[in-house]
Chains A and B, each alone.
Chain A
């Protein structure tokens, strides 16, 4: 389990979980679940387009996820952000459908882009993941106070002179960056589950942001490691285990929060 091609898988999974735990914490805090779903899913159209014109899919993914982040951020100023996100996602998926219709041999690649191919990570894919992952975590560290303030206490953030729409835009770009890095290796759906379940559970376990952030990372790591091990032994897709374990963590967190509330009342 810890030799050969699995070494890369463990390495990449660990980095992805670290990033998802950190970025996902703010996704949950800011209520950006829809954006976190839309950017990776829509970006896969970019990979389809890149495939069609014969460039590296990573470039297509990067361009599309960045365009999605900037487009959603910009249009959200004039319209409601959930509506804008839905329409932007549909536009990208429709473009993806158009790209796929023009090429002939794409079926297995759709599957791998949506659900990932973490067991087939090559050594050359590890470096971009490490670099982009480091960039994302550093960006979140740099934006930490702004992100926290604008989501928890908008008034104080305004008093500090933080502009909410700029912080939102910066956050969407971080989301896009983490997407570009993760979609080719773990798939659009896995990264989304990992960005929602563990952080949402972590918020139930602690009210202090620093501790919740740490718990979120730990839960994400445990989820990914357990999923990889299960997938290795049963041969079922990793995405299945990540999705189910993430939801289970959320259920556990909510139960814990409920029990704590009940005890406090009595």
Chain B
């Protein structure tokens, strides 16, 4: 025990808050993340964290609550991405990129004005990286309420959302309003991402959204199992990361310890890499090991194609 948990780990209040906030956001991110990865919207999921932080830096300027800034900017950005984007994936990426570019431009202005007016150092770093250890315990109820709202929204539109993610033609044939479902999902994504970026910082927000979901989707084709596995992996990675970050202050007395985001992201990244190994896939993965290869030949052989042409 002494090796694993350095003194004061269980009695520390910031650690307790970090465990609760980290666990809740990890679960919500994992569930929204599985749908995000299935829909191929990882870029939007990441871009919204930057858009949300624009709102965060703007809220310092306007003097409104950062939470309103984060989530408000995220929702506006999500709407803009959805309206500017065309249905094809490439068009959607470009629209996401344009909104992201405009938002970061605004961010540059807000941060410039923030630093010139109030001369608070550390604002940039705080907004960009956040720290799960500096979360104010009073935000716990807000985080939990918004998490429940997010999950309720997902639950409410689950079947039409899934159908339109897998085949938009089939969904519209069944009478699903694909555009409407897509817009609603983007708004849900914005709330979830805004919430996690204010709670745990924008780096962790994307990592917890995409990492556990992508890992679990590599290991199973069963969507229900994927949800469960993503939640478990996300929460485990978060808690282990918090533990390591806490311990790292004791590893070398002269150093300052390493940030918690580094450990959590490293665990998630390693998990993703390991899940792609052939050996792991053979034992845990879906029965048909590689889906992509049969559909798209990795290498076109000129001789074969030449016969056809």
A, B in one complex: yes
Query: For chain A residues 175-196, which have a beta carbon within 8 Å of chain B?
Result: 189, 192-193, 196
Which segment, of A62-70, A120-128, A211-219, A242-250, faces chain B?
A242-250
Among residues of B, the one whose C-beta sits closest to the C-beta of A194 is B101
Q: What residues of A have a CB within 8 angstroms of the CB of B108 in the complex?
A: 114-115, 189, 237, 239-240, 243
- Is A83 an interface position by the 8 A CB rule? yes
Tell me, rounded to whole Å, the shortest Cβ–Cβ distance linking B258 to chain A.
Answer: 5
Complex formed: what's the CA distance from A51 to B54 in Å? 27
Return 7 A-B CB contacts under 8 Å, by A number.
A31-B89, A37-B97, A86-B45, A90-B206, A91-B269, A94-B266, A111-B115
Number of interface residues of B (CB under 8 A): 64
Q: What residues of A have a CB within 8 angstroms of the CB of B98 in the complex?
A: 196-197, 200, 246-247, 250
Complex formed: what's the CA distance from A247 to B99 in Å? 7
Does B42 contact A192, Cβ atoms closer than 8 Å? no
Complex formed: what's the CA distance from A189 to B302 in Å? 41
Query: How many residue pairs, one in A and one in B, have C-beta atoms under 8 Å apart?
Result: 193
Annotate B31-44 by CB proximity to A: 1 below 8 A, 0 otherwise: 00000010010110
Q: What residues of B have a CB within 8 angstroms of the CB of A246 in the complex?
A: 98, 101-102, 105
Which segment, of B119-127, B143-151, B154-162, B166-174, faces chain A?
B119-127
Q: What residues of A have a CB within 8 angstroms of the CB of B265 in the complex?
A: 90-91, 93-94
Does B96 contact A33, Cβ atoms closer than 8 Å? yes
- Is B253 an interface position by the 8 A CB rule? no
Does B211 contact A100, Cβ atoms closer than 8 Å? no
- Is A145 an interface position by the 8 A CB rule? no
Complex formed: what's the CA distance from A102 to B254 in Å? 11
Contact partner of A240 (CB less than 8 A), chosen from B43, B106, B122, B129, is B106
Among residues of B, the one whose C-beta sits closest to the C-beta of A95 is B262
Does B104 contact A86, Cβ atoms closer than 8 Å? no
Complex formed: what's the CA distance from A80 to B19 in Å? 31
Query: For chain B residues 240-274, which have a beta carbon within 8 Å of chain A?
Result: 255-259, 261-262, 264-266, 268-269, 272-273
- Is A158 an interface position by the 8 A CB rule? yes
Does B122 contact A101, Cβ atoms closer than 8 Å? no
Does A158 contact B104, Cβ atoms closer than 8 Å? no
- Is A159 an interface position by the 8 A CB rule? yes
Among residues of B, the one whose C-beta sits closest to the C-beta of A245 is B105
